[in-house]
Chain A
Amino acid sequence: MSQVSRRPALKRTAGRTGQYAALLCYLLFLAFPFLWLISTAFKPPRELADIHPTWIPEAPTLENFRQAFAQQPLLEAAGNSLLAAAISAVTAILLATPMAYVLARFRNRFSRAATGWVVISQAFPLVLVIIPLFLILKGLQLIDSRIGLVMVYVVWSLPFALWMLTGYVRAVPRELEEAAAVDGAGRARTLISVTAPLLAPGIVATALFAFITAWNEFFFALVLLKSPEKQTLPVVLTHFLGAEGVADLGPLAAAALLATLPSLLLFAVIQRRITGGMLAGAVKS
């Protein structure tokens, strides 16, 4: 009897161990490039060309960081990236949230067509868009303009933001809004006091997506901005590269490491809010 009861427990333990092992492998796979970047950023030139590379630098140095800052205006570029990413994320959210609500709550032929168009627009490759976009912005005198770049970032992130937020709005039970209406709340009151708080994690996640998309974006910034003082961080990172793929690897790794930090910090701070599951228990089934 005891053997029979032990078997499922053993199976469960083995299954759980396997799951954790698989998860660990996956995490290592995901973390490998980042860990390698950290390692490279602190290595002196001789260690970078060692045929038997080590994870932990034998003679760790901050020289790569010093050189990176000495060679390129990294802080100024990071400021430009931050400005463009923050403003485009805020704008995308301001535009996408009401649109998503309409698409999720008022389902008719128009909303279905709009959703379809949003999904299709994700299929357009960048190279197809860049030349017409360039000509349009040129006509509007928005080349070499931060406004032009932010507009592009907003337009570029809007379809996916809209698609994400529509899903979040649909997950908010309609019954909650109906209950608020029964209690005498108007539509505006219902939206602000009932729907908006429940949407907060979705809005944060979508804003984060829009921010990171703009923070990492390279090609639009390269093509649309001309003045050095307006260049964003990904564009400035290419200045560590020479012809034929030669790179100033140490300073490049140091600068790239600094460029990844804001995204990481942002995730670390708000990941609980994204995964918090604020909807849990909102409705008694």
Chain B
Amino acid sequence: MPRPEPTAPRPRARIHRRGLLAAAAALPAAALLPGCSDDDRRRTGGRITLRFQSLAWQQDSVTANRQLVAEWNRKHPDVQVRYVQGAWPTVHDQLLTSFEGGEAPDIIHDASDDLADFAYGGDLADLTALLPPRLKRDIPQQSWQTGTFDGRVYGIPFLQEPRVLIANRTILKRSGARIPTPEHPWTWEEFEETAKRLTRGGTYGVAWPLKEPVSATLNLALSTGSQVFHRHRDGKVEVRFDAVDQVVPRTIHDQLNVDRTASRTTLGMGGSDTLPGFFAGRYAMVPLGFSYRQQIAQQAPKGFDWTVLPAPQGTGLDQGVSPQTLSVAADCPHKEEAMAFIDFFLRPPNMVRLALGDWMLPTGQEALKDPALRVARYDWAAGTALAGSLRSAPAQSVRGYPEWKDKIATPGLQEYYSGAIDLDSLRKRLVRDGNLVLARYQR
């Protein structure tokens, strides 16, 4: 092997500078090389690895999710599941780019009202033929509808929560008002009357956190027979805002602007923002999701007496919900294995663990029978009794709903609730402008 010719030594400073520059240039590449992308979904040595993106965020829920993944991995050495942490505020953008880039997780945790575009866009796998009979039987039809688009199942609903009235029991008892139960809830008229009785001194009867008014309004309005979105035989959807659709928005508006039984300061608030006022006795009742009990249990002052009441009923007690769902990416090469994991993940005892971790209700009928979800503590039983009345929110399968919600309904309802426009102006906006938006999606 020829030896290299000896070369004359170069000035030290020059070598030093060059070396430094070369090192500086090489540093980024060297430091980052282990970061090159890989394909986790390929078989490696006969083993399949699936990526499961979970949106669990509360400590108990994250623990339950991770434990279930670990249990699966112990039992299934050939099909390993890798836990990937996602986040609710960013999941839509993150999935959108993941699907575009072919980098989507195999098993996707999301909510049913976020699935329409992905389902219609071919990003999610049609799970209809893959569903295990046990799971099919366990989850009731009204829940399946939440994850079904064009007759195909794209999301398996597994956790849901009714909107309930969380009330200060001391103030409620003092007023002498009838305490509603799931069997005998208040009508909307009774609710208005009770709010009047509870409004005394510095206390408002109710606080509506309406930072995001659309889903709250539409889901509660199902109880009065409201639908808003009407699907024709040709599949096209039309927005209407008829008398039955107006009952709930008008009630809220009147409480805020006519009766003054609802605090106007909470109009722009999220649910959590109302809790300090609720604990301080400024509001007697707050309509919130069932899972807010976790925050209340954690943050309420010692001795604060609270209770969960069913939302008022109209012609029925129905309420729209958008359950949490599990889906499989359309380009997942191991759909059957992914479904096997979902089947394991949603077995009744596991569903109970997930429900307890998230303070929500399971969709599965077997899980709902579990004694842990029927206890009086934290009013679990009150929520479980409402599970049968939860329906698919009519809007969620409508293409163009997110744009209608953001551009038309949210500002429209906010202005109506603040008293800036009347019901007729709101109706014109929701219907006329709303149908123009939907038309673009239905050409």
Contact = CB atoms under 8 A, between A and B. Distances in A.
Interface of A: 45-46, 48-51, 67, 70-72, 83, 87, 90-91, 94, 130-131, 134-135, 138, 141-147, 150, 222-223, 226-228, 230-231, 235-236, 238-249
A145 B272 contact: no
B272 A222 contact: no
Contact of A222 (B55, B93, B298, B302): B93
A228 B98 CA distance: 14
A89 B276 CA distance: 43
B103 A226 contact: yes
Interface in B93-117: 93-94, 97-98, 100-103, 105, 111
Interface stretch (B220-228, B277-285, B406-414): B277-285
A244 B58 contact: no
Interface of B is mostly: helix
Interface in B282-328: 282, 289, 292, 295, 298-302
Given A147-B36, A248-B59, 11 more contacts: A50-B279, A145-B35, A146-B32, A147-B33, A226-B37, A226-B84, A240-B57, A241-B88, A243-B88, A247-B272, A249-B272
Nearest to A84: B32
Given A222-B90, A223-B97, A226-B98, A241 B57 contact: yes
B271 A244 contact: yes
Given A46-B301, A143-B103, A242 B32 contact: no
B231 interface: no
B413 to A, nearest CB: 16
B180 interface: no
Contacts of B31: 83, 87
B299 A48 contact: yes
Nearest to A142: B37
B361 interface: no
Contacts of B128: none
A53 to B, nearest CB: 8
A77 B220 CA distance: 41
Given A51-B276, A71-B59, A144 B301 contact: no
Contacts of B176: none
B270 interface: yes
B28 interface: yes
B47 to A, nearest CB: 18
Contact of A51 (B84, B85, B277): B277
A248 B27 contact: no
Contacts of A236: 85
A15 to B, nearest CB: 42
A228 B69 CA distance: 15
B378 to A, nearest CB: 15
A245 B272 contact: yes
A239 B88 CA distance: 8
Q: 7 closest Cβ contacts across the A-B interface?
A: A146-B35, A49-B299, A238-B87, A51-B280, A51-B276, A144-B37, A245-B270
Contact of B87 (A94, A145, A227, A241): A241
A51 B277 CA distance: 6
Contacts of B102: 138
Nearest to A228: B84
Contact of A242 (B58, B93, B211, B212): B58
Contact of A145 (B32, B59, B97): B32
Contacts of B289: 244
B24 interface: yes
B87 A239 contact: yes
Given A87-B32, A150-B32, A228-B84, A243 B111 contact: yes
**A94, A135, A144 interface centre (most CB from chain B within 10 Å):** A144
A85 B85 CA distance: 22
Given A46-B299, A71-B59, A150-B28, A239 B35 contact: no
A230 B35 contact: yes
Contacts of A90: 24, 27-28
A74 B356 CA distance: 26
A242 B57 contact: yes
Interface in B346-400: none
A270 B102 CA distance: 43
Given A134-B101, A246-B295, A91 B276 contact: no
A239 B93 contact: no
Given A45-B298, A87-B32, A239-B85, A244 B90 contact: no
A226 B94 CA distance: 9
Contacts of B105: 226
Contact of B100 (A48, A87, A134): A134
A75 B57 CA distance: 18
B275 interface: yes
Given A87-B31, A90-B24, A146-B32, A238 B90 contact: yes
Which of B94, B97, B102 has the most A CB atoms < 10 Å from its CB? Answer: B97
Nearest to B21: A94
A48 B102 CA distance: 42
